[in-house]
Amino acid sequence: MAHDFSDKDLAAIEATTLEVGRYIFEHRANIRPSVLERRWWDDHIMSWAMQDESVKVQMFRFVDVLPMLKDSASVTRHLHEYFHDVRQHLPMAVRLGLAVATPDSLAGRALAIAARRNATGQARRFIAGANTSEVLAAAMRERKLRRAFTLDLLGEAVTSQREAESYLQAYVNLITGIAPTVNAWPEVPQIDRAELPELPRVNVSIKLSALDSQFDGIDPQGSAQRVSARLRTLLRTAQKHRAFVNVDMESYACKDLTLAIFKQILLEEEFRDLVDVGIVIQCYLRDAEADLHGLLDWARQRRRPVWVRLVKGAYWDYETVHSQAQGWPVPVFQEKWQSDANFEKLSRLVFANHEHLRPALGSHNVRSLAHGVALARHLGLPPGSFELQMLYGMGDQEKQVLADMGHRVRIYMPFGELIPGMAYLVRRLLENTSNDSFLKASFTDRIPPEVLLMNPHEVAARERDSRRLATLPRAPAVVPAANPFQQTFFNEPATDFAVEANRGAMHDALAAVRDELGRHYPLVIGPREADTSERMPSVDPSQKQRVVGTFAVAGVEQANDAVAAAKAAQPAWHALGVEARAEYLRAAASQMRDRRFELAAWQVYECGKGWREADGDVCEAIDFCEYYAQQAVALMGPHGVDVPGEENRFYYLPRGVAVVIAPWNFPLAILTGMTAAALVTGNTVVMKPSEQSSIVAAKLMEIFRALDVPPGVLNYLPGKGEVVGAALVEHPDTALIAFTGSRAVGLAINARAAEVSAAGDVVKRVIAEMGGKNAILVDDDADLDEAVLAVVRSAFGYQGQKCSACSRAIVLDSVYDTFLERLVEATKSLQVGPAEDPGASVGPVIDEESLVRVQRYIDLGKREGRMALAVDIGELSQKGYYVGPHIFADVPRASRLAQEEIFGPVLAVLRARDFSEGIALVNGTDYALTAGVFSRSPANLARAKVEIMVGNLYLNRGITGALVGRQPFGGFKMSGIGSKAGGPDYLSQFVIPRTVTENTMRRGFAPAAGELDATADERG
């Protein structure tokens, strides 16, 4: 075990590490590339690009898009677009070349050819070939140098089960195709023999997420089942052809699931004795040590060894940025020395237990590798008992020295087509040019070997010292300009359902809520609960026989009572002051946090929301409370400009009684948002939730009542829209109506509210969020992996029942067919099922009426377009209101399918001749809510920002899931009246601005500005 190493052992290992490291450096120096080799030129071009960060970014982005560019004109156009802004940093020759090379000119064509040749050349450096014969030749070359190989088939992101199946098949073909040849090659004992009598020569590395398009930690059983079925086929093929299978490790979200599947399958009878398998542990993860101990315990129980490849990890930037954006704990170490130290610590653990876990070290860092070699020597292990693994095209000099030392060096050889190849190339370029990279430090930065060989703990001490020095007083540094867009509000982090404890909490909440189903919920008017003669059931759309609860149905009389109660409570509520009201909102947010799983569970049952969607809704409700609390305090205080002799006060008053009419699709968030905005600004509220989500609304009422909000400040009035909703809207004492829902109802409310009755004395304010007919435009250079997944998620997430949902995909002609085919397959792979099931990515629509309406549009689609996909839901139709995702292709732009809001899982795909026509199509409806663009042309993205006329435009990402504060949400044209929810000016719609000017001069004497008391109204 790692802790079995005494201090004396560690000192001896350290001394050998330095000795081995120095040996590698000395011998490596003899193998410098000569000026006659291509590698020398590649390195020089790279180091030129590395000198300027802006050039580097543009260069990598250009390399990334290049394979998608069909002709020279497009390549030249992109070159101009990428390098125009950084041209002053380019060498003169390149600058001149760009200046004369217009897209259609001869010079342009020559430039495009040169750019493609260079990028392909770079790719060849890291990618062993495009097909098996090229890769076999590369493998043979390595063998001649006494180096083994493992093959990694580069693939596009797997977006459908068909792609997952063909990915598996490609691996099966690879093994069966090369095994006879490779196994017939003459033996090279240094790499073919291990401690074991013989080691498979054919060796493949595979990523498990590529075996299932729905691979997701939220549903470990379902994912494991699908992956295991394919992995079994692979393992059987490998056994039959004597091949080794290594499971690579991907992003953190996949880690637990990958480890679980690996362990589970190798305990199956058929694979219990398998030893030619391995898995990766990423030492940059804080969890890595615990995972390795888990693996060791498992291997001991299994009594057969497996290989463990220790690496630091390839996704450091992504993990850091992604977890910060989500508000989750960062899973990777934040200081490089920590990853290095952990690599060594875990090396000791693996080497000390090599009879259970066979060590393979995947690194290009001479120190990390030398430490492994030293460990083996210290433990008296023969070189064949462990492996040193390195990537194709990287660290070639070290590889040769280590092979010459008699070690088994295995080369990780990716191979495949240019498109996935470029993504891999960019990852390698980024890694090689990262400031923390060993290779950059040793080659480009020329840091001396004694520094590079330093023990990571010594490095830490040095860094601490230099930080101390940095804090000593010195000349004032240039203070960077403040970022005006800096984040000041932080969103509630979504639940990470890849974490087992969170899944457990959700299962528990679902069970607890199940026990509570069927209860009755009376109205709340003023201080009392009130029942009515009519009750309405709210049913579970996933299982229509199940009654979630019943609620009292309010009529006109109760509407009058509620408005009266709200009116009576309003002056005192206002007098309380903004700070106190904001405190109520914060307390409500806190209650929601405590009850988050339960509140999400209610939504699963009442609205057919999947786990993530329901959890997101609770987070958004919390955000609204916190955000509006923060905003209101800033807004409601007195503002003004005083001059001597004159005091000016500008401040806001509440409008009075607010009626909140909310929809069912974000049953807690939207209701909470509108209610919180009205309350915190001093209005009192009558909540009229949707009939389909009145139980979730009752939970919100419960929360505010538990906080002892004064009676009448908030009233709960469920009922039928046309009765109680209409009565509330028309009531002369209603000052404001905050509505979210359909266009038809929104416009009707607006019209009604404009009619001033004899009894009323205000023009009612209407804030209405209405529908959308949102589009995603896919350019001809788009990353199709990302575009397909984003369209699927935006169109079919919550069954397309979000106002922001994508209901039109507008695709440029040249990528239309490819995109459509992948889109259809990806959608086909979605699982339709009850919202309660975490594996279901598509649940039911909200009710019977909605089902019938969506089906009518499907019938229409068959006439107006070409049905490209209709997902069959089988027997589910008996259980609930299910309708499978539908895709219609070649939909004409003026058709009803392309113009009307459907609010269901129906997507229209339209063809655009070029980007200009695409923009015209995006804009070509009555709505202006959300839209998206997938493009890698900086010029087209810039055009989209200016020309696409919607409230929320998203570039190169999905179009749903706006976050409070970060993406204030709302549209214009027929999509809404008023400003954006979750934005800086939303609250101003709930208040009346006033200005008071006082002449403070008395007989020539005036107090100093600001000395007079604030008036009572300035309480806010």
Ligand X SMILES: Cc1cc2nc3c(=O)[nH]c(=O)nc-3n(C[C@H](O)[C@H](O)[C@H](O)COP(=O)(O)OP(=O)(O)OC[C@H]3O[C@@H](n4cnc5c(N)ncnc54)[C@H](O)[C@@H]3O)c2cc1C
Distance CA 896, CA 903 (A): 14
Element (H, E) at 991: strand 991-999
Contacts of 678 (CB under 8 A, 6+ apart): 658, 660, 684, 685, 736, 738, 990
933 binds ligand X (CB under 6 A): no
Nearest-approach distance from CB 313 to ligand X, in angstroms? 4
Mapped onto helix, strand or coil, the DSSP state of residue 890 is coil
338 binds ligand X (CB under 6 A): yes
DSSP per-residue letters across 878-937: HHS-----EEEES--TTSHHHHS---SSEEEEEEESSHHHHHHHHH-SSEESEEEEE---
Q: Amino acid identity of 598?
A: E
Pick the closer one to ligand X by CB: 391 or 674.
Answer: 391
Bridge partners of residue 369, in order along the sequence: none
Binding track, positions 97-116, relative to ligand X; x by CB under 6 A: --------------------
Contacts of 30 (CB under 8 A, 6+ apart): none
Q: Do 891 and 864 form a contact (C-beta atoms < 8 A)?
A: yes
258 binds ligand X (CB under 6 A): no
Contact window for ligand X (CB under 6 A) among 222-230, 435-443, 694-702, 872-880? 435-443
Distance CA 19, CA 542 (A): 67
Q: Determine which residue in the list 60, 62, 333, 666 makes contact with ligand X, applying CB under 6 A.
A: 333
Contact window for ligand X (CB under 6 A) among 6-14, 389-397, 507-515, 752-760? 389-397
Active site residues: 769, 803
311 binds ligand X (CB under 6 A): yes
Distance CA 354, CA 195 (A): 11
Q: Determine which residue in the list 365, 432, 672, 690 makes contact with ligand X, applying CB under 6 A.
A: 365
Nearest-approach distance from CB 342 to ligand X, in angstroms? 9
Q: Determine which residue in the list 62, 83, 307, 316 makes contact with ligand X, applying CB under 6 A.
A: 316
Contact window for ligand X (CB under 6 A) among 330-338, 525-533, 613-621, 653-661? 330-338
Pick the closer one to ligand X by CB: 412 or 652.
Answer: 412
341 binds ligand X (CB under 6 A): no
Contact window for ligand X (CB under 6 A) among 306-314, 568-576, 794-802, 907-915? 306-314
396 binds ligand X (CB under 6 A): no
Q: Determine which residue in the list 438, 664, 903, 954 makes contact with ligand X, applying CB under 6 A.
A: 438
437 binds ligand X (CB under 6 A): yes
Nearest-approach distance from CB 334 to ligand X, in angstroms? 5
Contact window for ligand X (CB under 6 A) among 171-179, 287-295, 327-335, 768-776? 327-335
Distance CA 711, CA 680 (A): 16
Q: Determine which residue in the list 67, 362, 449, 522 makes contact with ligand X, applying CB under 6 A.
A: 362
Strand order of the β-sheet with 930-934 is: 866-870, 886-889, 906-912, 806-812, 774-778, 930-934, 952-955
Q: Do 421 and 123 form a contact (C-beta atoms < 8 A)?
A: yes
Interacting positions 265-304 with ligand X (CB under 6 A): 280, 282, 284
Pick the closer one to ligand X by CB: 268 or 445.
Answer: 445
Which tokens belong to 601? Answer: 């569970």
Mapped onto helix, strand or coil, the DSSP state of residue 507 is helix
| Residue 27, Ramachandran bin (φ over 0: left; ψ between -120 and 50: alpha; else beta) | alpha
308 binds ligand X (CB under 6 A): no
Pick the closer one to ligand X by CB: 391 or 824.
Answer: 391
Which tokens belong to 404? Answer: 């010459």
Nearest-approach distance from CB 124 to ligand X, in angstroms? 19
Q: Which of 770, 693, 688 is nearest to 730 (CA)?
A: 688
368 binds ligand X (CB under 6 A): yes
Pick the closer one to ligand X by CB: 249 or 403.
Answer: 249
Mapped onto helix, strand or coil, the DSSP state of residue 119 is helix
Nearest-approach distance from CB 373 to ligand X, in angstroms? 14
Pick the closer one to ligand X by CB: 213 or 433.
Answer: 433
Pick the closer one to ligand X by CB: 247 or 944.
Answer: 247
Q: Amino acid identity of 42?
A: D
Q: Do 567 and 715 form a contact (C-beta atoms < 8 A)?
A: no
Pick the closer one to ligand X by CB: 156 or 248.
Answer: 248
Nearest-approach distance from CB 365 to ligand X, in angstroms? 3
Contact window for ligand X (CB under 6 A) among 383-391, 764-772, 793-801, 812-820? 383-391
Bridge partners of residue 67, in order along the sequence: none
Residue 128 burial (C-beta neighbours within 10 Å; 0-12, 13-18, 19+): buried
Binding track, positions 756-795, relative to ligand X; x by CB under 6 A: ----------------------------------------
Strand boundaries in 670-815, DSSP class E? 684-688, 714-716, 734-740, 765-769, 774-778, 806-812
Q: Determine which residue in the list 50, 90, 391, 906 makes contact with ligand X, applying CB under 6 A.
A: 391
335 binds ligand X (CB under 6 A): yes
Mapped onto helix, strand or coil, the DSSP state of residue 236 is helix
734 binds ligand X (CB under 6 A): no
- DSSP H helix total and E strand total for the chain: 36, 30
Which tokens belong to 509? Answer: 């909440």
402 binds ligand X (CB under 6 A): no
Contact window for ligand X (CB under 6 A) among 356-364, 550-558, 598-606, 947-955? 356-364
Pick the closer one to ligand X by CB: 248 or 917.
Answer: 248
363 binds ligand X (CB under 6 A): yes
Q: Determine which residue in the list 336, 574, 581, 936 makes contact with ligand X, applying CB under 6 A.
A: 336
Nearest-approach distance from CB 360 to ligand X, in angstroms? 8
Nearest-approach distance from CB 19 to ligand X, in angstroms? 20
Contact window for ligand X (CB under 6 A) among 432-440, 453-461, 646-654, 749-757? 432-440
Interacting positions 233-252 with ligand X (CB under 6 A): 248-249
Q: Determine which residue in the list 127, 310, 390, 454 makes contact with ligand X, applying CB under 6 A.
A: 390
Mapped onto helix, strand or coil, the DSSP state of residue 390 is strand
Contacts of 993 (CB under 8 A, 6+ apart): 650, 651, 652
DSSP β-ladder status, 519-521 and 543-552:
parallel
Q: Do 552 and 530 form a contact (C-beta atoms < 8 A)?
A: yes
Q: Where are the alpha helices (DSSP H) in 540-687?
A: 556-575, 578-594, 596-607, 611-636, 669-680
Pick the closer one to ligand X by CB: 424 or 881.
Answer: 424
Rounded to an integer, what is the distance from CA 297 to the centroid of its chain? 34
Backbone angles phi, psi at 662, to 5 degrees: -115, 155
Pick the closer one to ligand X by CB: 339 or 681.
Answer: 339
Nearest-approach distance from CB 208 to ligand X, in angstroms? 11
Residue with tokens 């990390």: 368
Q: Which of 924, 824, 918 is nearest to 871 (CA)?
A: 824
Q: Determine which residue in the list 324, 334, 995, 997 makes contact with ligand X, applying CB under 6 A.
A: 334
Backbone angles phi, psi at 739, to 5 degrees: -125, 140
314 binds ligand X (CB under 6 A): yes
Nearest-approach distance from CB 229 to ligand X, in angstroms? 22
Distance CA 433, CA 63 (A): 15
Nearest-approach distance from CB 785 to ligand X, in angstroms? 19
Distance CA 204, CA 412 (A): 9
Residue 1015 has, within 13 A of its CA and on its CB side, a CA count of 15
436 binds ligand X (CB under 6 A): yes
Pick the closer one to ligand X by CB: 311 or 659.
Answer: 311
Pick the closer one to ligand X by CB: 265 or 977.
Answer: 265
Binding site for ligand X (CB under 6 A): 248-249, 280, 282, 284, 311-316, 332-336, 338-339, 362-365, 368, 389-391, 412, 431, 436-438
